Amino acid sequence: MPPAGAPPRHRPFITALGIGQICSWGTLFYSFPLMAQMMGPELGWSKSEIYLAASIGLGVSGLAAYPVGAAIDRGHGRLVMGLGAVLGGLLLLAWSQVDSLILFYAIFVCLGCVQAATLYEPAFAVTMRRVGPDQARRGITAITLWGGFASTVFVPLIQLLLDQFGWRGALIALGGLNVILTAGLYFWAIRPARDAVAAPPSRDAPPPLQGRKAVAWAVRRPVFWLLAFAFVAFTATFSAFSFHIYPLLLERGMTTASVVTVISVIGPAQVLGRIAIWVLAPTAPVRTVGSLIVAIFPLALIAFTALPAQLAVLVVVAAFWGAANGIMTIVRGLAVPEMLSRQAYGAINGALTAPSLVAMALAPLAAAALWSATGSYDAVLLALVGGATVLTLGFWTAAAISRRPGQGVAPD
């Protein structure tokens, strides 16, 4: 079980939110590939037609990230996440009855909004409000530890449901889980009346940053744009690689069993990476942790490209890749309060996250187009190395600039 991430009075909140994240990620994200595999043959839809829905959902979640974050900043986190889980459950029920491609896409437009309201970013925002900026690091780290078990719990559970009830029955079960358990956890745990409240400002102090004013303040700082640039490069690179690693390694001559083994290492490595940060660097500045971690991504991709396609070799590379991604989730969650502003976390982080989610949606399609144009994954890997290099340089520059007077964290 993941350790508690805050003082004892916050542990029930973190635990409930963490279990809710397992359910949200498991039902709204990790369920898709398994459902897609069974939907296609029954409905006569191609894989590209089905996976376009996932891209639509991710793109919409990017557009919804800022309004969701701003609403949480105004104290509406309970309604945002609780009602989001209820709506997510109802949409899964609607998905279970779909037989029209247009209706399928319409459902995923709405599911994109639900993802923006229930996954890591809103969970981080309500945690920031509940425990305050000084304790948010351990709380956010603990939530990522919980969330890291989503695929471990739900992939076999969903497969069992598919085997027993088919994809329509499985979606009905997942929808009911969202409405009853996930929404119940969020409504119970998120209580705005218990949020940490800062001392009222003196009469001469400037008003706290909020909403659009907070984003307007942030976008005038080079650190915001450098982080946005780096995170777009990260999500695009990671998304494209995650969607294409299976055919990529097959093209390099590995057997199906070996490819599955390599991929299966990534998930546990993400959790181990987060535990390592929890144990070894609980108070290290996020700019320091991030600066070390981002360098792993281009090196790992170069290794995937240049090293022999042998199982033992690529398992080690996959472990480093997974651990770096696991830690990067924490870095992204803490970059705003530690490098930019301790105020208006939801609004600023939502604005920072929005282009990353759009890039996450488009990158697999771009990688597929590049493969089609060149006939191999060599050009795709070269592009991924370039994206990872942009991530590294962008974050390093943001970390350096954030140390300068007037460019760092806004005062409380």
pLDDT band at residue 99 under the 50/70/90 scheme: very high
Mean local confidence (pLDDT), 37-53: 87
Per-residue model confidence (pLDDT) at position 411 = 45
Mean local confidence (pLDDT), 183-193: 93
Per-residue model confidence (pLDDT) at position 338 = 87
- Per-domain residue ranges of the chain: 8-192, 211-402
What is the CATH architecture assignment of 8-192?
Up-down Bundle (1.20)
**Does pLDDT of 6 surpass 70?**
no
**Does pLDDT of 201 surpass 70?**
no
Least confident range of 92-96, 111-115, 185-189, 310-314: 310-314
Per-residue model confidence (pLDDT) at position 366 = 87
pLDDT band at residue 107 under the 50/70/90 scheme: very high
pLDDT band at residue 189 under the 50/70/90 scheme: very high
pLDDT tens figures, 146-170: 988 888 788 889 889 999 999 999 9
Percent of the residues in the chain that have a pLDDT greater than 90, as a whole number:
46
Write the class of the CATH domain 211-402: mainly alpha
pLDDT band at residue 138 under the 50/70/90 scheme: confident
**Does pLDDT of 406 surpass 80?**
no
pTM: 0.82
**Does pLDDT of 353 surpass 50?**
yes
Domains 8-192 and 211-402 equal at CATH topology level? yes
pLDDT band at residue 409 under the 50/70/90 scheme: low
Mean local confidence (pLDDT), 46-62: 87
**Does pLDDT of 97 surpass 80?**
yes
Per-residue model confidence (pLDDT) at position 412 = 45
- Residue with more model confidence, 248 or 27: 27
3-state secondary structure the chain: CCCCCCCHHHHHHHHHHHHHHHHHHHHHCCHHHHHHHHHHHHHCCCHHHHHHHHHHHHHHHHHHHHHHHHHHHCCCHHHHHHHHHHHHHHHHHHHHCCCCHHHHHHHHHHHHHHHHHHCHHHHHHHHHHHHCCCCHHHHHHHHHHHHCCHHHHHHHHHHHHHHHHHHHHHHHHHHHHHHHHHHHHHHHHCCHHHCCCCCCCCCCCCCCCCHHHHHHHHHCCHHHHHHHHHHHHHHHHHHHHHHHHHHHHHHCCCCHHHHHHHHHHHHHHHHHHHHHHHHHCCCCCHHHHHHHHHCHHHHHHHHHHHCCCCHHHHHHHHHHHHHHHHHHHHHHHHHHHHHCECCCHHHHHHHHHHHHHHHHHHHHHHHHHHHHHHCCCHHHHHHHHHHHHHHHHHHHHHHHHHCCCCCCCECC
Per-residue model confidence (pLDDT) at position 200 = 45
Mean local confidence (pLDDT), 335-343: 84
Per-residue model confidence (pLDDT) at position 4 = 44
pLDDT tens figures, 254-309: 888 888 788 888 888 988 998 988 888 888 888 999 999 999 999 999 998 888 88
Per-residue model confidence (pLDDT) at position 196 = 75
